[in-house]
Structure 1
Amino acid sequence: MSSQGVWLRARERLRRFPELLAGCRDQAAAYGRCVAATGPGQAALRRGACAREFEALRRCCAQAAKKTMK
């Protein structure tokens, strides 16, 4: 297997990401609001602080990706 094939597949997945994210705008907005609400600076954001919102966004993107698979 050539490494070029791996990069081509990865590039194709990255090209689809904006479309998938646009389909999950409500979940992305909720996650963004959660992150922004934690306060300024890196120290304010703790691991797992927005886990519920991130999980909803992840599930939405996974579902959208399944729908658009060839």
Structure 2
Amino acid sequence: MSGQGAWLRARARLRRFPALLAGCREQAAAYGRCVAAAASGTAELRRDACLEEFRALRACFDRAAKAMPK
């Protein structure tokens, strides 16, 4: 059994990623700032430190993916 079909589907999803990211610039920037601030200095990045920003980014990706034709 070949895994070629799975790779083709994964590549198709990855090709859409830049367009999705471009549509969610503000949320991506907010998440990036939060992660950078949480990991700055000697502080260790903790799980769920930027959960609110991540959820906003994921919701934006979900909306953009539903609106984008396949």
Q: Show the counterpart of 2:50.
A: 50
Percent identity, please: 70
Once the two structures are superposed, what CA deviation does each residue of 1:19-55 show, in whole Å capped at 9, x if it has no partner?
A: 10110000000001101111146x6210000000000
Query: For structure 1, which segment, 31-40 or 59-68, has the greater mean C-alpha deviation from structure 2 after superposition?
Result: 31-40
Q: Using the alignment, how far apart are the partners of 1:59 and 1:25 within structure 2?
A: 13
Please give the TM-score of this superposition, normalised by the length of structure 1: 0.88
Structure 2 equivalent of residue 36 of structure 1: 36
Relative to total residues, which structure has the larger helix share, 1 or 2?
1
Q: How does 1:1-70 map to 2 (within 5 A)?
A: 2-38=2-38, 39-40=40-41, 44-70=44-70
Give aligned pairs, total.
69
**Structure 2: stretches of 5+ with no match in the other structure:** none
TM-score, with structure 2 as normaliser: 0.88
Report SS of the residue matched to 2:62. helix
